[in-house]
Structure 1
Amino acid sequence: MSADSRVRHLSAGELISAVLDAGSFTSWDDPGPKSYPGASPAYEDELRHAREKSGVDESVLTGEGLIHGRRVAVIVSEFTFLAGSIGNVAAHRIAAAIRRATAERLPLLAGPASGGTRMQEGTPAFLSMVDITGAVRGHRQAGLPYLVYLRHPTTGGVMASWGSLGHVTVAEPGALLGFLGPRVYEALYGEPFSSGVQTAENLFDKGLIDAVVPPEQLAGVVDKALTILLADASEPPEPPSTVTVRPGAHTAWESILISRNRRRPDLRRLLAHGARDVLPLNGTGQGEKDPGLLLALARFGNQPCVVLGHQRPRHPGDSVMGPASLREARRGMKLAEELGLPLLTVIDTAGADLSKEAEEGGLAGEIARSLHDLIGLASPSVSVLLGQGAGGGALALLPADSTIAAQHAWLSPLPPEGASAIMYRTLDRAADMAESQGVKVGVLLERGVVDHLVDERPDAADEGRAFCERMAAAIEYELARVNDLPTADRLERRAGKYRAGAG
């Protein structure tokens, strides 16, 4: 499906008015030149006509304004000016605005709508995408949010540079988005490009963008993202009641059976009942989307974080964590590091995907890379053992500065039935294997792997909301605590928790 031609797409000025608080926009643009050195008379005529048609002096407008009272820099394309194409003047305007936003420590919202670089200016305009990309890199490296709203249409060099570098990327419904211009494809190959590929909705389905958002909802999405990303977490929370919880007398097998209850609260319910300002993200941003993992920005109390964790299958046969899940998880790790946010990982899995597709997708390598990245993560980190913790799929999200465990959570090299089959060629010794392997939280606490227990009264499945609220209070406390640790001490302590022979 192509973008619906009946939809009216907003001009740059209309989008600015729709997103920014009324009357708050201030332009950063100097007037564009009336003539371009070396431009042909035909190109000068095109520029003059573009100014008359669009009512603006170039294909982009830049400036700043307020979104829900918060100061934000903006860069917005005007498609009616030569199809939003980027020539040298427009490129200079974009790069200058990005660098000004960086210097003034402002979050930046970009709203491209462009056919790419300006053909009339050839290779010099094409090369300007490198300068713009360098400016975006500098903004991101400064730890400042870069948010992108892809509008209809965004293709070519713009999609392949500043349109695809957002920390959070959302798109206009029905927008045509992609590297390839459909008109170019048809001219080169004599047939139309496949329909439905380059739509915002298809890119969302493929994990390339985070959401499809109409313009009238964009301000709310940006406000929620910035409320999380720029949260003031300086005031530490009071210690929750769970700091004094000790392990119960239950056996490992009893906990395993309790953890398998389908009514047990999962990550979705933890976020719904325990977090605030939750903003789901979607996919790897590189064409993969695996329902086995949930990625989001969220706050627990006043503590912001990047959240990534196992999505427990709702029904037998639903997808479990595969290699794409861990590539999505590593996107979350990178976001946490770039934005200076703590990382929260949530473990609740009966095991990773065991299939031909997972093997060919490099599951083992992705587990290794996830462990590698978590051990050396520059950001503070907290992991949560929420329920089942079987195998490499659980281990891949475990390393953290602090680990919280629900009372009936557990961690094992593989499900105890599998261990029993290996050791005794029968499943009947699963309970014995669970006890002997030290899978329950009491043993993990003694070894120093678990730092904080959250009690179940007596089973989280019977008190879902109350349990989630206690777990959320523990998460808020631990996020604040690890955030206060000196970076060098934090990394050394993190690695030491898992040192062979420790405990």
Structure 2
Amino acid sequence: MSAPDLRPAPDEAESIWIKCTACQEILFRKEVERRLFVCSKCGAHLRLTVEQRLLTLVDRGSFTEHDADLRSTDPLHFVDRRPYDKRLTDAWKKTGRYDAVLCGVGLIAGRAVALGIFDFSFLGGSMGTVVGEKLTRIVEHAIRERMPVVFFAASGGARMQEGVLSLMQMAKVNMALGCLREEGLPYLSVMTDPTTGGVAASLGLIGDLNIAEPQALIGFAGPRVIEQTIREKLPPGFQRSEFLLEHGMVDIVVERKDLRRVIGQVLDLLCDERTVERRKPVASGQ
């Protein structure tokens, strides 16, 4: 498959300003892009599109997408405020992809890595049958080709419109990652803002190394839901990366500018060169 188009969407290209979602400061877009979408005023790590994430992560021109044509159906004919098939169509028009994860192989510091990158702008990055299938397939590809796996989570959790079929993906992806571990191949989980629900409860927190971006919201139920349930005020910073690091839920918090370097260094330590080769990506045979 051909490499994805990394050009910004038209509405992004037309605006020279961007507002920080944390401090509400109006920022010059070129400066924000230069800082990898980190606010120069408050240091907040703004949410990235999949294309922006790739540009900050992989060696230029090295990414090959897998299973780009897989698309969700509407097995339950689900209708809430709008029919599910209408939501899928609108999300496709908005993002240019058929579901909430981009999977493929790219080079990070010269090493072939199987990647899964969630797209929060597609139905909140929710995990349905297609997301689960694509993640499982890329893990299976990594096992065949003897390469490590890195997932970047940005998700509200399981996709309610697919019911129990969505919940099944949690076990399905975790089983694939279990096979990866049995093969002695590393899996790094990078949790970005937000990583919640079934994604946090499954693939998000079971990496050989669990990495988080600064101030990312990470947890199962959101803080407002918890406060309304227990009728108590939560401690400051609850469910943020630094809080989870302090309490042992994540292993390291890494600023975006350092992520590529840290991932490369960790993979150098974890990968046995006898079984995990440093080589160019192998295109999907599907």
Structure 2 unaligned regions, length at least 5: 1-20, 25-43, 275-286
C-alpha displacement of 1:80 = 0.7
Which residue of structure 2 lines up, in the alignment, with residue 64 of structure 1? Answer: 105
Specify the alignment match of 1:106 in structure 2. 147
SS of structure 2 residue aligned to 1:174: coil
TM-score by length of 1: 0.44
Question: Aligned to 1:79, what secondary structure does the other structure show?
Answer: coil
**1:174 equivalenced with 2:212 (yes/no):** no
Greater Cα radius of gyration, structure 1 or 2: 1
Are 1:145 and 2:183 counterparts?
no
Deviations 1:349-383 (A, max 9, x none): xxxxxxxxxxxxxxxxxxxxxxxxxxxxxxxxxxx
Q: Which residue of 186, 206, 218 maps to 2:247? A: 206
Q: Give the structure 2 partner of residue 27 of structure 1.
A: 65
User: Structure 2 counterpart of 1:20, which letter?
Assistant: V
Which letter does structure 1 place at the counterpart of 2:63?
Answer: F
Give the CA deviation at 1:207: 2.2
C-alpha separation in 2, matches of 1:159 and 1:198? 11
Mark the runs of 5 or more structure 1 residues left unpaired by the alignment: 234-503
| 1:189 to partner: Cα distance | 5.4
Instruction: Map Cα deviations across residues 277-307 of structure 1 (whole Å, 9 max, x no partner).
Output: xxxxxxxxxxxxxxxxxxxxxxxxxxxxxxx
Q: Deviations over 1:90-122 (max 9, x none)?
A: 111111111111121110111011111001111
Whole-angstrom CA distance in 2 between matches of 1:163 and 1:89: 18
Q: Distance in 1 between matches of 2:273 and 2:132?
A: 34
Residues 58 and 106, structure 2, Cα contact 8 Å, conserved in 1: yes
Distance 1:187 1:71 in 2: 45
- Are the equivalent residues in 2 in contact too, given 1:86–1:117 (CA < 8 A)? yes
Report the Cα distance in structure 2 between the residues aligned to 1:181 and 1:128, rounded to whole angstroms: 21
Aligned length: 231
Hey, which bits of structure 1, 4+ residues long, moved more than 4 A?
Answer: 186-194
Give the aligned partner of residue 118 of structure 1. Answer: 159
Q: 1:469-498 deviations in whole A, cap 9, x for unaligned?
A: xxxxxxxxxxxxxxxxxxxxxxxxxxxxxx
Equivalent AA in structure 1 for residue 139 of structure 2: I
Displacement of 1:157 in angstroms is 1.0
Check conservation: 1:29, 1:93, Cα contact below 8 A.
yes
Q: Paired residue for 1:13? A: 51
Deviation at 1:230, TM superposition (A): 2.4
Aligned to 1:325: none
State the Cα distance separating 1:33 from its structure 2 match.
Answer: 2.8
Question: Deviation of residue 55 (structure 1)?
Answer: 2.9
Whole-Å separation in 1 of the counterparts to 2:209 and 2:266: 8
* Structure-2 separation of matches of 1:82 and 1:31: 18
| SS of alignment partner, residue 50 of structure 1 | helix
After the TM superposition, which residues 418-457 of structure 1 pair with which residues of structure 2 at under 5 Å, given as runs?
Answer: none
Distance in 2 separating the partners of 1:5 and 1:100 = 42
**Structure-1 residue corresponding to 2:95:** 54
Corresponding position of 1:405: none
Distance 2:101 2:146 in 1: 21
SS at match of 2:193: coil
* Partner Cα separation in structure 2 for residue 14 and residue 53 of structure 1: 16
- Asked if the contact 1:61–1:77 (Cα under 8 Å) also holds between the matched residues in 2, the reply is yes
Greater RCO, CA 8 A, separation 6+:
2
Go from structure 1 to structure 2 and tell me whether the alpha carbon gap of 1:121 and 1:35 turns closer, same or farther (over 3 Å shift): closer
Deviation of 1:220 after TM superposition, in Å, equals: 0.4
Preserved contact between residue 78 and residue 162 of structure 2 (Cα < 8 Å) = no
- CA drift at 1:30: 3.4
The 3 A distance-change label for structure 1 pair 193 and 123 is farther
Q: Report the Cα distance in structure 2 between the residues aligned to 1:154 and 1:53, rounded to whole angstroms.
A: 21
